[in-house]
């Protein structure tokens, strides 16, 4: 199952890079104990797809990411659990099942 997430990047966190955003979401997934799928192989990583990277210092209201999850999960529960672990400045605005 895939979940499409729309998130915003505001305030002081507009100065972090795209790779730092990826690491930030990976850390939030681990802390929230979400069932995001891991890749198979020697160095497994979470299956997350992000939209194009923004320039450094640009705020955004509509960044998109797609999370592949192992088990069925209510999109609203996914949104609430990950928002609890994300820092101020990054917030998931909506989450929906992707077909």
The whole-model pTM stands at 0.90
Kindly state the average pLDDT of the residues 66-72: 93
Average pLDDT, the chain: 94
> Residue 33 carries which DSSP code?
T
β-partners of residue 66 are 4, 49
The set of long-range contacts for 45-52, using a CB threshold of 8 Å and a minimum separation of 24, is 48/22, 50/18, 50/21, 50/22
Determine contact, residues 98/77, Cβ cutoff 8 Å.
no
Arch. (CATH architecture) of 2-98: 2-Layer Sandwich (3.30)
Split at pLDDT 50, 70, 90, the class of 99 is confident
| Alpha-carbon span 2 to 14, nearest angstrom | 27
- Domains of the chain, residue spans: 2-98
Note the pLDDT tens digit of each residue in 16-58.
999 999 999 999 999 999 999 999 989 999 999 999 888 899 9
| Token pair of 57 as six digits | 């210092």
């Amino acid at each position: 199952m895939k979940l499409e997430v729309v998130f915003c990047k505001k305030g002081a966190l507009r100065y972090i890079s795209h790779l730092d955003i990826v690491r930030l979401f990976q850390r939030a997934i681990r802390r929230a104990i979400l069932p995001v799928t891991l890749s198979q192989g020697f160095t497994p990583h979470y299956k997350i797809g992000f939209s194009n990277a923004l320039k450094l210092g640009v705020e955004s209201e509509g960044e998109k990411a797609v999370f592949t999850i192992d088990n069925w999960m209510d999109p609203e529960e996914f949104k609430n659990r990950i928002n609890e672990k994300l820092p101020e400045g990054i917030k998931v605005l909506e989450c929906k099942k992707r077909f």
